[in-house]
């Protein structure tokens, strides 16, 4: 089954994580053995990740440290220990140890097998992802099921998928495979107001963030991508493709800040463009050195639209059209 992946004064965010992380040591340990320095880096990264979650307003429980540290690749210790001493010093003394992988160009000259990085864990740790964490109820299940009823197509997919939801929760899915139409049947389970799970032929479950707006629906397998409610007060929280944004003054001249999937603070700006239904919120992210690959990337703009009091990606690649009710 093919499931489409969606394509969605400047505040400097590098200081966002400092309130808690300042308590951690920011000194070079040049007299320590490399293995000990690298073990200490894990603690430093954990402190900065915690501070990022606090800045995002995410709940943090007593399992956080264990969950975060389990995300380090098994090769982290050996590859870190093999890195030049000056590289470790740069990370140790940086204001944010996670961002240091970019600012210190840690992996720029390293062979792929020798690279190391903090965990990619943002989507699993940010607890305010509404489509992944909310409770459900009989009323929510009935409302979501009713909104899905009908036959939907994805005009952006070459496999020409067609999915039909029935009022009793039954699902039929058809798509092209080797130039032939393949049909699967199953059921849909409502997991929350913004998340559903589809089981086809009793074998595999597909978890979708979803949002129905009339005869168009957003369906996405990305953990952080979905519909996020616009806050009436304070910052609006928005997730997209593993990144997390906080947007202030959304009704006026918005300002934004946020983190990527490694809880690395990003430099960005945001603004509204257009009018009416065509109005879009543009979040421009400055080009930076990739933490993982060490390569330099260009700037990128992610676009969102407001629908029924929510922000959703403006990209057409994740949108399905209802063709029959």
Mind spelling out the 3-state secondary structure of 281-308? EEEEECCCECCCCCCECCCEEEEEEEEC
Question: In this structure, is residue 103 part of a structural domain?
Answer: no
Distance CA 118, CA 263 (A): 9
* Cβ proximity of 159 and 3 under 8 Å: no
- Overall size of the chain counted in residues: 325
Distance CA 257, CA 295 (A): 23
Which of 53-67, 289-303, 309-323 ranks highest by mean pLDDT? Answer: 53-67
Question: In this structure, is residue 247 part of a structural domain?
Answer: yes
184 confidence band (pLDDT: 50, 70, 90):
very high
Residue 60 neighbours by CB under 8 Å, 6+ apart: 50, 53, 54
Residue 124 neighbours by CB under 8 Å, 6+ apart: 67, 71, 223
pLDDT at 18: 42
* % of the chain at pLDDT higher than 90: 71
DSSP classification of residue 230: P
99 confidence band (pLDDT: 50, 70, 90):
very high
pLDDT at 24: 58
pLDDT at 133: 64
132 confidence band (pLDDT: 50, 70, 90):
low
Which of 46-55, 121-130, 193-202, 218-227 ranks highest by mean pLDDT? Answer: 46-55
Question: In this structure, is residue 300 part of a structural domain?
Answer: yes
Q: Does the pLDDT value for residue 3 go beyond 80?
A: no
* Cβ proximity of 247 and 11 under 8 Å: no
Q: What is the mean pLDDT of residues 222-251?
A: 93
Q: Does the pLDDT value for residue 201 go beyond 70?
A: yes
Question: In this structure, is residue 251 part of a structural domain?
Answer: yes
> pLDDT (tens digit, 9 = 90+) per residue, 14-54?
444 443 444 457 999 999 999 999 999 999 999 999 999 99
pLDDT at 297: 83
Distance CA 79, CA 77 (A): 6
When divided into structural domains, the chain yields a total of 1
Which value, in Å, is the radius of gyration of the alpha carbons in the chain? 22
- Mean pLDDT of all residues belonging to the chain: 89
Which residues span the domain enclosing 305? 228-315
Question: In this structure, is residue 91 part of a structural domain?
Answer: no
pLDDT at 10: 35
Beta bridge partners of 204: 200
Question: In this structure, is residue 4 part of a structural domain?
Answer: no
Q: Which of the pair, 160 or 2, is modelled with greater confidence?
A: 160
Coil/strand/helix, residue 266: strand
DSSP strands (E only) in 193-299 = 195-200, 204-213, 216-220, 228-229, 236-240, 243-248, 255-259, 265-266, 268-273, 280-285
pLDDT at 27: 94
pLDDT at 145: 96
> pLDDT (tens digit, 9 = 90+) per residue, 262-301?
999 999 999 999 998 889 999 999 888 889 888 888 899 9
Question: In this structure, is residue 137 part of a structural domain?
Answer: no
Question: In this structure, is residue 238 part of a structural domain?
Answer: yes
């Amino acid at each position: 089954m093919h499931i489409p992946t969606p394509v969605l004064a400047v505040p400097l965010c590098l200081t966002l994580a400092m309130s808690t992380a300042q308590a951690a040591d920011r000194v070079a340990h040049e007299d320590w053995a490399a293995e000990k320095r690298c073990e200490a880096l894990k603690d430093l990264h954990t402190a900065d990740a915690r501070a990022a979650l606090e800045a995002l307003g995410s709940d943090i429980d007593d399992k956080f440290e264990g969950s975060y540290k389990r995300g380090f690749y098994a090769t982290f210790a050996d590859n870190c220990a093999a890195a030049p001493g000056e590289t470790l010093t740069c990370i140790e003394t940086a204001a944010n140890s996670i961002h240091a992988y970019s600012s210190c160009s840690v992996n720029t000259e390293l062979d792929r097998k020798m690279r190391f990085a903090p965990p990619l864990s943002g989507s699993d740790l940010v607890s305010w992802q509404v489509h992944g964490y909310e409770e459900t109820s009989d009323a929510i299940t009935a409302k979501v099921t009713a909104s899905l009823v009908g036959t939907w197509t994805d005009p952006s997919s070459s496999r020409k998928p067609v999915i039909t939801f029935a009022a009793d929760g039954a699902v039929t899915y058809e798509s092209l495979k080797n130039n032939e139409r393949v049909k699967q049947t199953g059921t849909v389970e409502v997991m929350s107001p913004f998340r559903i799970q589809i089981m086809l032929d009793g074998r595999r479950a597909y978890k979708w963030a979803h949002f129905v707006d009339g005869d168009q629906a957003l369906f996405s397998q990305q953990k952080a991508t979905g519909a996020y409610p616009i806050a009436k007060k304070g910052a609006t929280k928005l997730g997209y493709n593993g990144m997390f944004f906080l947007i202030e003054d959304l009704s006026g001249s918005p300002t934004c800040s946020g983190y990527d999937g490694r809880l690395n603070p990003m430099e960005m700006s945001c603004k509204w463009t257009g009018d009416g239904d065509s109005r879009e919120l543009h979040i421009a992210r400055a080009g930076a050195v990739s933490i993982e690959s060490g390569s330099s990337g260009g700037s990128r703009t992610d676009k969102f639209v407001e629908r029924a009091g929510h922000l959703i990606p403006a990209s057409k690649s994740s949108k399905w059209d209802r063709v029959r009710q």
